[in-house]
Amino acid sequence: MANIVSYTFEQYCDRVTEFHGHLAPGMLVGGYMVDLALHNLPKDILFDVICETPACLPDAIQLLTPCSVGNQWLRVIDVGRYAATFYNKYTGDGIRVYIDIDKLTRWPAIKDWYLKLKPKKQQDRQQIFDQIKEAGTQICGLETIKVSSEFLTRPDKTVAVCPICHESYRSEDGEICPACKEGCLPYRVVAKTSSAGS
Amino acid sequence: MANIVSYTFEQYCDRVTEFHGHLAPGMLVGGYMVDLALHNLPKDILFDVICETPACLPDAIQLLTPCSVGNQWLRVIDVGRYAATFYNKYTGDGIRVYIDIDKLTRWPAIKDWYLKLKPKKQQDRQQIFDQIKEAGTQICGLETIKVSSEFLTRPDKTVAVCPICHESYRSEDGEICPACKEGCLPYRVVAKTSSAGS
Q: What chain A residue is nearest to B160 in terms of C-alpha separation? A: A115
Contact B92 A165 (CB under 8 A): no
Contact A81 B54 (CB under 8 A): no
* pLDDT band at B157; cut points 50, 70, 90: confident
B131 exposure class (CB count in 10 Å sphere: 0-12, 13-18, 19+): buried
Helix/strand/coil (H, E, C) string of A72-122? CCEEECCCCCCEEEEEECCCCEEEEEEECHHHHHHCHHHHHHHCCCCCHHH
Write out pLDDT tens, residues A92-146: 999 999 999 999 999 999 999 999 999 989 999 999 999 999 999 999 999 999 9
* pLDDT band at A197; cut points 50, 70, 90: very low
Spell out which residues of chain A touch residue B72, defining contact as CB-CB under 8 Å: 54-55
Strand pairing category for B187-193 and A74-76:
unpaired
- Say whether pTM exceeds 0.80: yes
CA distances (Å), origin B80, targets A22, A168, A178, B157, B178: 31, 8, 8, 29, 24
Contact B197 A138 (CB under 8 A): yes
Spell out which residues of chain B touch residue A24, defining contact as CB-CB under 8 Å: 71
Write out pLDDT tens, residues B80-98: 999 999 999 999 999 999 9
Spell out which residues of chain A touch residue B48, defining contact as CB-CB under 8 Å: none
Spell out which residues of chain B touch residue A170, defining contact as CB-CB under 8 Å: 80
Spell out which residues of chain B touch residue A179, defining contact as CB-CB under 8 Å: 52, 79, 81
Residue B198 has pLDDT above 80, yes or no: no
Distance from CA of B156 to the nearest CA of A (A): 10
Neighbouring residues of A192: CB distance < 8 A, sequence distance ≥ 6: B141, B142, B143, B144
Residue B196 has pLDDT above 90, yes or no: no
Mutate to test the interface with B, among A106, A187, A192 (most CBs of B within 10 A): A187
Write out pLDDT tens, residues B30-57: 999 999 999 999 999 999 999 999 999 9
Q: What chain B residue is nearest to A27 in terms of C-alpha separation? A: B70
Residue A198 has pLDDT above 80, yes or no: no
